[in-house]
Each structure stands twice: as C-alpha cells, then as structure tokens.
Amino acid sequence: MQGLVEGKLEEAGLSPAERALLEYVGKVTEAAYRTTADDVQNLRELGWTEPQIAEAVYITAMFAFFNRVADAFGVPPQRYLELNEMTK
C-alpha cells in the first residue's frame, strides 16, 4: 500500500492490469491529448472493459476538476494521508 500512496507503482504489488490502468490515468491527468487508441486497446487486452476504462477516465477528470476548483478558491489540502498515519 505504501508504494501506491507514494506513487511508486513498481513497489505497490499491483497486477499488470492494475498498473497499466493507473499508468493510463496518469497519462490522462498529465496530458490527455497524448492518449491514443493503442493505450485503450492495451487496457482491453489486459481485461478491462469499455465501461471500466470510461469510469477510470471520468473519475480522473472529476478529481482534476475538483482539485482545480479547490485551488481556485484557496481550499487548503486536507492531509488525509498524514492524519491516517497519526491514528495508527
């Protein structure tokens, strides 16, 4: 889990399909215009369905939207991960 929290996918114990999906949504986040039909086909070949791929894109886009709105209004980061560490 720690690898995932830190963005270290190679240390997160993910399946190849999970890792590919996270790499894809990372690409959507950073430069959606660079995504290709081949990217999506790779996900299909790893077992992801059209609705699952679409949902991953929708969730990624929603979080990007929420983050930009929060930033625009000066909402401070909630620090949920740090708070979780304090309760252990």
pLDDT number for residue 49: 98
Domain that holds residue 38: 2-86
CATH number, residue 32: 1.20.1290.10
pLDDT number for residue 10: 80
Which of 59, 37, 45 lies closest to 17, judged by CA? 45
Which carries the bigger pLDDT value, residue 83 or residue 59?
59
Domain total for the chain? 1
Question: Which of 10-19, 38-47, 55-64 is the least confident region?
Answer: 10-19
Residue 84: pLDDT band with limits 50, 70, 90 = low
pLDDT number for residue 32: 94
* Percentage of the chain exceeding pLDDT 70: 89
Phi-psi region of 14 (alpha: psi -120 to 50; beta: other; left: phi over 0): beta
